[in-house]
Amino acid sequence: MNSIQFEQQQIIETFSLFDDWMDKYTILIAYAKELERMPDNLKTDETLIKECQSNLWVSIERRGDQIFIKADSEVLIVKGIAALLIRLLSGKTAEEIRDTNLNLFKEIGLEEHITQTRANGLNALIQRIYSLCNSVN
């Protein structure tokens, strides 16, 4: 088990302590509020994933064989989702990310609780991260 898988398991276990979705959202919002601020100069059209009035900016950068992710959103729940991704993947090597089966959102039940458009956006984002990892050789 690599460090990403270990951290993912920890997060899944934290969420599983609560049945009520309001409690799960409390955790998600706490992650959102702890997220490191994304500099304004990184909020560009290229980093914007737009969904009807709920903007999400995600910048993904490769330095050597490590991937670094920054994100921000006006919507705390969306920011919380991004914060979980960053906690798991940012600063990790492309190899570690490639070797990880990222099933966090399915395991905590989030996929059933976000809109289809947002779920599609999330999946597209994860695909973008993986393809950046695959291009690191």
**What would the two tokens of residue 39 be?**
């500099």
- Going from the C-alpha of 25 to that of each of 15, 43, 109, the distances in angstroms are 9, 25, 11
Helices 21-34 and 76-89, interaxial angle, to 10°?
A: 70
- DSSP assignment of 91-108 equals T-BHHHHHT----HHHHT
- Describe the chain by its helix, strand, coil percentages, rounded to 5: 55, 15, 30
Residue 34 near another protein by CB under 8 A: no
Choose the stretch contacting another protein; rule: CB under 8 A; options: 4-12, 21-29, 83-91, 93-101.
Answer: 21-29
Report the residue number, 3 or 120, with the smaller CB distance to another protein.
120
Catalytic residue flag (residue 52): yes
User: Which one of 52, 101, 135, 137 is the catalytic residue?
Assistant: 52
Among 26, 103, 117, 134, binds another protein (CB under 8 A): 26
CB of 44 to another protein, least distance (A): 19
CB of 76 to another protein, least distance (A): 5
Residue 91's nearest CA partner among 11, 4, 6 is 4
Whether 56 and 71 have beta carbons less than 8 Å apart is answered as yes
CB of 1 to another protein, least distance (A): 32
Residue 78 near another protein by CB under 8 A: yes
Residue 22 near another protein by CB under 8 A: yes
Q: Which residues are catalytic?
A: 52
| Binding residues vs another protein (CB under 8 A) | 21-22, 25-26, 29-30, 52-54, 74-78, 113-114
